[in-house]
Amino acid sequence: MLQRSVFFLSDRTGITAETLGHSLLTQFDGIEWKKHYASFLDSAAKVQEIIDRINTIAKQEGQPSLVFSTLLDPVILASVRQADCYLIDFFESCLGVLETALQQSPVRIPGRSHILGQDASYFRRIAAIQYALNSDDGSNSKILADADVILVGVSRSGKTPVCVYLALQYGVLAANYPFTPEDMGVVRLPSLLQPLREKLFGLTLSTSRLQAVRVERYPGSHYASFVECQRELQWQNELYQQFNIPFIDTTGVSIEEISASIINRMRLERRLYGT
Amino acid sequence: MLQRSVFFLSDRTGITAETLGHSLLTQFDGIEWKKHYASFLDSAAKVQEIIDRINTIAKQEGQPSLVFSTLLDPVILASVRQADCYLIDFFESCLGVLETALQQSPVRIPGRSHILGQDASYFRRIAAIQYALNSDDGSNSKILADADVILVGVSRSGKTPVCVYLALQYGVLAANYPFTPEDMGVVRLPSLLQPLREKLFGLTLSTSRLQAVRVERYPGSHYASFVECQRELQWQNELYQQFNIPFIDTTGVSIEEISASIINRMRLERRLYGT
Are A139 and A205 in the same domain?
yes
Q: B174 or A141: which carries more pLDDT confidence? A: B174
User: What is the rounded distance in angstroms from the CA atom of residue B170 to the CA atom of residue B124?
Assistant: 10
Q: How many domains does chain B have?
A: 2
User: What is the rounded distance in angstroms from the CA atom of residue B105 to the CA atom of residue B107?
Assistant: 6
Res. A151: pLDDT tops 90: yes
What's the confidence (pLDDT) of residue B183?
92
Are A57 and A84 in the same domain?
yes
Res. A275: pLDDT tops 60: no
What's the confidence (pLDDT) of residue A167?
94
- Identify whether B216 is part of a domain: yes
Are A199 and A246 in the same domain?
yes
Are B132 and B249 in the same domain?
yes
Give the closest residue to B13 by CA, choosing from B38, B48, B50, B31: B38
Are A85 and A148 in the same domain?
no
Q: Is residue A63 within 8 Å of A45, Cβ to Cβ?
A: no
Are A147 and A250 in the same domain?
yes
- Taking only Cα atoms into account, the Rg of chain A, rounded to an integer number of angstroms, comes to 24
Domain end: A47, A72, A102, which one?
A102
Q: Any idea what the CATH number is for the domain that residue A78 is in?
A: 3.40.50
Res. B119: pLDDT tops 90: no
Binding site as annotated, residues of B for ADP = 153-160
User: What is the rounded distance in angstroms from the CA atom of residue A114 to the CA atom of residue A21?
Assistant: 17
What's the confidence (pLDDT) of residue A150?
97
Are A219 and A140 in the same domain?
yes
Binding site as annotated, residues of A = 153-160
Res. A94: pLDDT tops 50: yes
Q: Do A66 and B109 make contact, defined as CB atoms within 8 angstroms?
A: no
Q: A69 or A142: which carries more pLDDT confidence? A: A69
Are B123 and B254 in the same domain?
yes
Measured between beta carbons, the chain B residues lying within 8 angstroms of A95 are: 24, 27
By C-alpha distance, the chain A residue nearest B214 is A123
- Identify whether A41 is part of a domain: yes
> A115: which residues sit within 8 A by CB, 6+ positions away?
B26, B254, B257
What's the confidence (pLDDT) of residue B275?
39
Confidence of residue B116 (pLDDT cuts 50, 70, 90): low
Single-letter amino acid code for the residue at A8: F
Q: Is residue B251 within 8 Å of B244, Cβ to Cβ?
A: no
Are B11 and B72 in the same domain?
yes
**Å from A3 to nearest chain B CA?**
11
ipTM of the modeled complex: 0.87
Q: Do A114 and B160 make contact, defined as CB atoms within 8 angstroms?
A: no
Q: Do A88 and B98 make contact, defined as CB atoms within 8 angstroms?
A: yes
Strand locations in A43-148 (E) = 65-69, 85-89
Residue A31 class from Cβ within 10 Å (0-12 exposed, 13-18 middle, 19+ buried)? middle
Are B130 and B243 in the same domain?
yes
Mutate to test the interface with A, among B4, B12, B24 (most CBs of A within 10 A): B24
pLDDT single digits (tens) A197-214: 999 999 999 999 999 989
State the average pLDDT over residues A147-157: 96
Domain end: A102, A135, A150, which one?
A102
pLDDT single digits (tens) A21-32: 988 998 999 999
Are A133 and A216 in the same domain?
yes
- Identify whether A184 is part of a domain: yes
Q: Which domain holds residue B130?
A: 119-265
- Identify whether A112 is part of a domain: no
**Å from A93 to nearest chain B CA?**
6
Q: Any idea what the CATH number is for the domain that residue B172 is in?
A: 3.40.50.300
State the average pLDDT over residues B134-148: 85
Domain end: B48, B69, B102, which one?
B102
- Identify whether A275 is part of a domain: no
User: What is the rounded distance in angstroms from the CA atom of residue A128 to the CA atom of residue A131?
Assistant: 5
Mutate to test the interface with B, among A40, A114, A137 (most CBs of B within 10 A): A114
